[in-house]
Amino acid sequence: MGRLGVLGCQALSLAALLLLWDLAVRTGVADPLFVPTPAAVAAALGSTAREALSRLGDTLLKALAGYVLAVGLGVAAGLWLGARRFPHAVAMPYVVAAYGVPKVLVLPWIALICGLGATTAVLTATLFAVFPIVLMVAAGTRDVDPTLVTAAVSMGATRGQVSRKVLLPAVLPSVVAGMRVGIVFAMLGVLLAEMFAGTRGMGFLMQRMALAFRAPDLFAATAIVSALSIVVVLSLEHWSRRLSRWR
Amino acid sequence: MKVLAGRVAIAVAVLALWEAVAAPLNPLFYVRPSALPGALLAMWRVPELPPLAAHVWLTVKEILAAYAIAVTAGLWLGFLLGLRTTVGRIYEPLLAALYAVPSVIWYPSLMLFFGLGPASKIAFGVLLGFFPVVLSVLAGIRQVPPTLVTVARSMGARPFTVFRKVMLPAMASTMVGGLRAGLALAVVGVLVGEILGARAGVGYVISYAYGLMMTREYAVLAVLVGAGVLALDTAGALVEARVKRWAG
């Protein structure tokens, strides 16, 4: 099957899914109070988009702040831990444990200390995104072939040259991979913080729509945020693939 | 030995620092680690808090249900997409796109649809736990060397034998990793659901303690749940290591 055929089948499947959904509501299998028809969601899309626009900007800004913090901290810590044997052996179990513990458990405490504003959301985003980045960058740094470094040094490369010409290209893919995973986690952290303890932002809006039984608006908002994050993540993926080709 | 000493030193230093920083501050916001054991003992007797055992049991049941559904659905879909290549080429990109969405945004809709009871928590746990299982099955199938399958078939092995003797050992370590990640995410899903909106369960008690500013009780619960999750994950890591040894 060609590329067009695949795309056609995908479009057809989505259409069938929408039809099935519509039928389920119309025949009363799903209660329209909780599950609106696709047509109702489409009708709500315009007004919800207007309501969501500024809140979405707010959420994205917080996610970006948390993300930048997490990338800075995570890449630095990952490079340091990956390059040194002893700190790696000592600290890695803690990083893995911190990665494994559900971060929601800390969220109430952050909200208690930092209040219901942007600080809580940004810190939560950082907390969610930083550990996967550390793990991926540290693993990538450890896997750099030492013979490459030895060869460069024996040919008279300076420290700066080794970092720039050998280590950077070798580590870059894992940094990019970490950054790609980090963006979803940062968004997740902000939205969760807004749902739990927010007064603004998209997460807060969606939680309030759910509690007010505004089902069409809620579905429309979910669709908008989904579409946005799919576009962001897929374009990042495209970009990282181009980067690996450059290497 | 030096490594172990370093690890203990980090743990002690963090606890000491926390204790030193928290001691002069308002205990309503900052709980000292030395206050935790006392708080745990007191909690068994606090009348304000709902009886804990029932909540823990409910959460465990929700996690088990979510994980069972996520594994069943994940294995089924993974093998369907992985073994039927045409179906896989059509639906894998859709799955990958869905995976790129920050999963919390589904929770309000699930809460609306399934209500505040256990169903919405189970649904969210399924949603989160399902993806790593599917993705690991797909990755595992890609790791099976096609020549081995061809050889086994040409020697007259039946499809089930090929599956059991050739494919499963080649896929096992990747798949077990996915099953372990799926369990961790099912736990996260149930906990997030309970914390965001519930009337029972451990997450509800945590949220309740937070709402009443019972910070000590909240801290005890958070530490206990965190430790429990870590223990579960460690057990998962042991199983994963065993399976990897079996698969060679």
Which class for B45: exposed (0-12), middle (13-18), buried (19 or more C-beta within 10 A)?
A: exposed
Query: For residues B18 and B32, is the Cβ–Cβ distance under 8 A?
Result: yes
Query: Which B-chain residues 225-244 have CB contacts (< 8 A) with chain A?
Result: 225-226, 229-230, 233
Q: Is A115 left (phi over 0), alpha (psi -120 to 50) or beta?
A: left
- What is the structure's pLDDT at A148? 81
3-state helix, strand, coil in chain A (%, to 5): 85, 0, 15
Nearest Cα to A181, choosing from B236, B194, B100?
Answer: B100
Residues of A whose CB is below 8 A from B90:
6, 9-10, 13
Instruction: With CB atoms and an 8 Å threshold, state whether B113 touches A94.
Output: no
pLDDT in tens, A103-112: 899 898 888 8
| Tokens at B90, concatenated | 């059509």
Handedness of CA A29, A31, A32, A38 (dihedral sign): negative
Q: Could you tell me which chain B residue has the CA closest to the CA of A6?
A: B90
Q: State the best of A12, A17, A105 to mutate against chain B, taking most chain B CBs within 10 Å.
A: A105
- What is the structure's pLDDT at A153? 83
Scanning the structure block, which residue is given the tokens 């069943």? B72
What is the ipTM score, two decimals?
A: 0.85
Q: What's the CA gap between B245 and B172, in Å, rounded?
A: 10
Instruction: With CB atoms and an 8 Å threshold, state whether A218 touches B112.
Output: yes
Predicted confidence (pLDDT) at residue A97 exceeds the cutoff of 70: yes
Question: Is B18 in the A-facing interface, judged by CB distances under 8 Å?
Answer: no
Q: Could you tell me which chain B residue has the CA closest to the CA of A197?
A: B196
Would you tell me how many other CB atoms lie within 10 Å of the CB of residue B84?
12
pLDDT in tens, B90-104: 888 888 888 888 889
Task: Give the distance from residue A88's alpha carbon to the nearest chain B alpha carbon, in angstroms.
Answer: 9
| pTM summary value | 0.87
- What is the structure's pLDDT at A189? 92
For A214, phi then psi, to 5°, come to: -90, 70
Number of H helices, E strands in chain A: 10, 0
Query: Which A-chain residues 57-86 have CB contacts (< 8 A) with chain B?
Result: 86
Mean predicted confidence (pLDDT) in B186-215: 88
Mean predicted confidence (pLDDT) in A212-229: 89
* % residues pLDDT > 70 (chain B): 97
Instruction: With CB atoms and an 8 Å threshold, state whether A105 touches B191.
Output: yes
Would you tell me how many other CB atoms lie within 10 Å of the CB of residue A60?
19
| Tokens at B5, concatenated | 């000493």
Q: What's the CA gap between A239 and A245, in Å, rounded?
A: 10
Chain mean pLDDT for chain A:
86
Handedness of CA A27, A29, A33, A39 (dihedral sign): negative
Q: For chain B, give the longest Cα–Cα distance.
A: 76
pLDDT in tens, B53-109: 888 899 999 999 999 999 999 999 999 988 888 888 888 888 888 888 888 999 998
Q: What's the CA gap between B131 and B141, in Å, rounded?
A: 16
A180-217 burial string, b = 16+ CB within 10 Å, else e? bbbbbbbbbbbbbbbbbbbebbbbbbbbebbeeebbbb
Q: For chain A, give the longest Cα–Cα distance.
A: 77
Nearest Cα to A103, choosing from B226, B128, B227, B193?
Answer: B226
- What is the structure's pLDDT at B47? 59
Chain mean pLDDT for chain B:
87
Question: Counting one residue from A and one from B, how many pairs have CB atoms under 8 Å apart?
Answer: 128
Instruction: Label residue B235 by pLDDT band (50, 70, 90).
Output: very high
Instruction: With CB atoms and an 8 Å threshold, state whether A6 touches B103.
Output: no
Nearest to B102 among A34, A100, A188 (CB): A188
Q: What's the CA gap between B41 and A158, in Å, rounded?
A: 60
Question: Is B210 in the A-facing interface, judged by CB distances under 8 Å?
Answer: yes
Residues near A112 by Cβ (< 8 Å), separated by ≥ 6?
B29, B210, B213, B215
For A157, phi then psi, to 5°, come to: -75, 140
Query: For residues A113 and B29, is the Cβ–Cβ distance under 8 A?
Result: yes
Instruction: With CB atoms and an 8 Å threshold, state whether B105 touches A206.
Output: yes
Instruction: With CB atoms and an 8 Å threshold, state whether A107 touches B195.
Output: yes
| Tokens at B31, concatenated | 């709980």
| Tokens at B113, concatenated | 């649809």
Query: For residues A203 and B116, is the Cβ–Cβ distance under 8 A?
Result: no
Query: For residues B137 and B178, is the Cβ–Cβ distance under 8 A?
Result: yes
pLDDT in tens, A121-165: 999 999 999 999 999 999 888 888 778 888 888 888 887 787 777
Instruction: Label residue A243 by pLDDT band (50, 70, 90).
Output: confident
Q: Could you tell me which chain B residue has the CA closest to the CA of A93?
A: B7
Predicted confidence (pLDDT) at residue A69 exceeds the cutoff of 80: yes
Task: Give the distance from residue B44's alpha carbon to the nearest chain A alpha carbon, in angstroms.
Answer: 20
Q: What's the CA gap between A191 and A203, in Å, rounded?
A: 5
Task: Give the distance from residue A159's alpha carbon to the nearest chain B alpha carbon, in angstroms.
Answer: 28
Question: Is A188 in the B-facing interface, judged by CB distances under 8 Å?
Answer: yes
- What is the structure's pLDDT at A130? 94
Query: For residues A61 and A164, is the Cβ–Cβ distance under 8 A?
Result: no
Query: Which B-chain residues 168-197 have CB contacts (< 8 A) with chain A?
Result: 184, 187-188, 191-192, 195-196
Q: What's the CA gap between A70 and A128, in Å, rounded?
A: 8
Nearest to A6 among B10, B89, B206 (CB): B89
Q: What's the CA gap between B11 and A91, in Å, rounded?
A: 10
Residues near A73 by Cβ (< 8 Å), separated by ≥ 6?
A126, A130, A134
Residue A169 CA: distances (Å) to CA of A32, A72, A88, B88: 54, 18, 22, 33
Instruction: With CB atoms and an 8 Å threshold, state whether A111 touches B107.
Output: no
Q: What's the CA gap between A204 and A120, in Å, rounded?
A: 13
Instruction: With CB atoms and an 8 Å threshold, state whether A100 touches B29.
Output: no
Q: State the best of A1, A101, A213, A240 to mutate against chain B, taking most chain B CBs within 10 Å.
A: A101
Instruction: With CB atoms and an 8 Å threshold, state whether B206 touches A108.
Output: yes
